[in-house]
Amino acid sequence: PTEPGPLDLNHATAQELTTLPGIGEVLAQRIVDYREAHGPFATLADAAAVKGISLRMTESWAGLAAANH
């Protein structure tokens, strides 16, 4: 089987987002809600605009997630 690529922050479901370090169900839903209200994230660091998510947290996702368009 092929290894899955990085999780796409702009298309992942809340359930998929919970696989990222530091992301539980509440933060995952906030990411989805923010994305729906503000449009896609340009970079992983943009997710730090979501309440409860820090820039350090987004840096820990390097290689695990991406902001694809």
- pLDDT confidence of residue 31: 98
Tens digits of residue pLDDT in 31-59: 999 999 999 999 999 999 999 999 999 99
**Is residue 12 helix, strand or coil?**
coil
| 18 class by beta-carbon count within 10 Å (0-12 exposed, 13-18 middle, 19+ buried) | middle
Q: Tokens for 56, please give them.
A: 């350090």
Asked if pLDDT for residue 2 goes beyond 80, the answer is no
Q: What pLDDT sits at residue 69?
A: 75
Give the Cα separation of 26 and 3 in Å (integer): 27
For the chain, percent of residues with pLDDT exceeding 70: 94
pLDDT value at position 3?
Answer: 59
